[in-house]
Amino acid sequence: MAGYTSAGAACTQCALGSFKSFSGPQACTICPRNTSSSGMGSTDVTACKCNAGLTGPDGGDQCVPCYRGSYKDVLGDSACRPCPSNSSTEAGSAKLVDCRCSRGFSGADGALCVPCSAGSYKNATGNSSCLACAAGTYTSETASFECTHCPTQAISWPGSVVLTDCMCNQGYSGPDGGLCEACAQGTFKGFLGNSSCIECPHGSTSEEGSDKVTDCECSAGYTGATGRECDACQPGKYKLDKGNAVCADCAVGTFKKFSGPGACSKCPSGSSSPASSNASTACTCQPGFAGVAGRPPCTACAVGKFQSGSGLCVMCNTTSCRIGQYRESCLEVARSSDAICENCTAVENAFFTSDGGISDNCTWQCANGFQQNCRTNACEICKAGEFYQRIREAGRPTWVSSCETCPAGAECDGSEVVVCRDAFYLAREDIKILRNNTEYIQESQECRQCPEGMNMYTRIYIYVYVYMQRRYNDPSE
């Protein structure tokens, strides 16, 4: 029987989505693609109708999806129905709730969609609510899916609806909804709107685009608190940078004769002034320079003269200093002090015997009990077992000495005295020696064997004789 199929002895109706138009045990035929039957036991292909979301003739395979913005929620060859106004669907939609409100409209899925009011927007499809335009944007249209930005450096309240709701930011000025320009240097504006920028307090300035009075800092040449009126720097004081620093005194050698901005001027060459000077007349000739009445133009003192503050260059002192000192030379120009006496370089265990003229060249000799070492030039005492060996350059009267090992047959206590042992006598004589191409006289001392018949008492006589001979040759001994 048509509409049935057998599975053994019993016959069963064709299932949904199938049909059979003839009798027999054969299986039911599946409906064409995208179609289905509405009941069981269908006997003809025309019972196969287009599924929901598709439309086309019954019994065929020509079912096509509903176009965007439409839907079909039943089987059959009926046309797709359009979505409610201002909503849309994807192609092939099968339900009314597939119709969702478009951008700029709001409402439940499948229901009435109402436009977003001016000052609000919705930039996605669906059932979400319209949002107020953010601060700095506006829209005067309904059903907007985006808001328009305010002009540069302008701001508006959330939900603004017209261009003139855009107000210039702090630090900028201009008409509502128009071009906003930065407040000029030296002005500020601390609120929104179209009002003009305000001048900074007296003596202060600000950067371009300043938005508060505390942006106003004292200008160069002025001092005071930030955001307040500033006082001009007085003559003799200066301030080169803006800010709340105090005015500084003009440095020594400079002056400033006016108040307010400006740097201190240098005194003319060769002159100077006290700190905080407020007139060019404060500049007077420096020590070492001279001018009429001590004022510029100032000329450097010549060699051999000095000026220490009297106003005129005078001759340097050239008289000799006392023994052990030398007078400073006066050979430079612009000298500011007289040539004074300086102490000669001291030698330990010695005393000076003359002044040094104009150089550190005082003569000296070793103190009593000390002898000059000709190698080191130091005044020293020789140790036991040594004696002072005296030597001088030929043609010069001054003797120098060095510590030498005691001669054979003698005893030495570190002084210049050589004591010969028993049966020896002291022989002293000046001999000439040559060192580095220079001739020297050396006082030679040696102990010699006593001649036959002389004894230790004779040695004492010889020693006294030699000592007296030395005193005769050198009275300073």
Domain that holds residue 40: 1-98
Q: Which pLDDT value is given to residue 459?
A: 47
How high is the pLDDT of residue 461?
52
Q: Could you give the CA distance from residue 33 to residue 59 in angstroms, rounded to a whole number?
A: 10
In a domain, 94, yes or no: yes
Q: What is the mean pLDDT of the chain?
A: 89
Kindly state whether residue 33 falls inside one of the protein's structural domains.
yes
Which is higher by pLDDT, 372 or 210? 210
Residue 413's pLDDT is: 83
- Once rounded to an integer, what is the mean pLDDT over residues 387-407? 75
CB 404 within 8 A of CB 387: yes
Task: List, for residues 31-89, the tens digit of each pLDDT value.
Answer: 998 999 888 888 888 899 999 999 999 888 889 999 999 999 999 999 999 999 999 99
Q: What are phi and psi of 460, to 5 degrees?
A: -65, -40
Please state, in angstroms and rounded to a whole number, the distance separating the CA atoms of residues 451 and 446: 15
Asked whether residue 463 carries a pLDDT value surpassing 60, the answer given is no
Per-residue pLDDT tens over the stretch 127-137: 999 999 999 99
Q: Is 423 helix (H, G, I), strand (E, B) or coil?
A: coil
- Domain count across the chain: 2
Listed residues 98, 129, 153: the one ending a domain: 98
- Give the pLDDT band of residue 409 (cuts 50, 70, 90): confident
pLDDT digits (tens, 9 = 90+) for 347-368: 888 888 888 888 888 888 887 6
In order of 67, 131, 159, 178, 301, the CA distances from 162 in angstroms are 38, 16, 10, 12, 84
Question: What pLDDT digit, counting tens, does each position of 316-336 carry?
Answer: 999 999 999 999 989 999 999
Q: Give the pLDDT band of residue 307 (cuts 50, 70, 90).
A: very high
Strands 18-19 and 148-149, bridge-based pairing: unpaired
Residues 223-261: pLDDT tens digits? Answer: 999 999 999 999 999 999 999 999 999 999 999 999 999
Residue 245 lies in a domain: no
Contacts of 166 (CB under 8 A, 6+ apart): 136, 138, 150, 151, 154, 155, 156, 160, 176, 177
Omega within 30 of 0 (cis) for the link into 297: yes
pLDDT tens per residue across span 2-30: 867 876 678 888 888 888 888 888 889 89
Q: How many CB atoms lie within 10 A of CB 79?
A: 10
Q: Residue 75: inside a domain, yes or no?
A: yes
- Give strand ranges (E) for 153-253: 154-155, 167-168, 172-173, 181-182, 187-188, 198-199, 204-205, 217-218, 222-223, 231-232, 237-238, 248-249
Q: For the chain, give the percent of residues with pLDDT over 90.
A: 58
Q: What local confidence, expressed as pLDDT, does residue 470 receive? A: 55
What distances in angstroms separate CA 30 from CA 8, 37, 337, one per listed residue? 20, 10, 130
Amino acid code (one letter) for 296: P
Q: Would strands 284-285 and 289-290 be described as parallel, antiparallel, or unpaired? A: unpaired
DSSP-assigned beta bridge partners for residue 48: 37
Closest CA to 49 of 57, 105, 422, 221: 57
pTM of the predicted model as reported, rounded to 2 decimal places: 0.56
Q: Is residue 112 part of a domain?
A: no
Which runs of E-coded beta strand occur in 316-463? 325-327, 341-343, 350-352, 364-366, 371-372, 379-380, 386-393, 400-405, 410-412, 418-420, 424-435, 438-449
Please list the alpha-helical segments (H only) found in 140-229: none
Residue 185 lies in a domain: no
Examine residue 169 and state whether it is found in any structural domain, yes or no.
no
Tokens 């190698």 correspond to: 375
Residue 201 has what pLDDT?
Answer: 97
Give the per-residue pLDDT at 370.
77
Residue 17 domain-assigned (yes or no): yes
What span, in angstroms and rounded, lies between the C-alpha atoms of 18 and 39? 9
Amino acid, single-letter form, for residue 13: Q
Q: Give burial (CB, 10 Å; 0-12/13-18/19+) of 276.
A: buried
Instruction: Report which of 364, 323, 333 is spatially closest to residue 347, judged by C-alpha positions.
Output: 364
Pick the last residue of a domain from 67, 98, 129: 98
What does the pLDDT look like over 145-190, one tens digit per residue? 999 999 999 999 999 999 999 999 999 999 999 999 999 999 999 9
- Mean pLDDT, residues 119-143: 96
Position 457 pLDDT exceeds 90: no
Q: What proportion of the chain, given as a percentage, has pLDDT over 70?
A: 92
Domain boundary among 44, 78, 98: 98
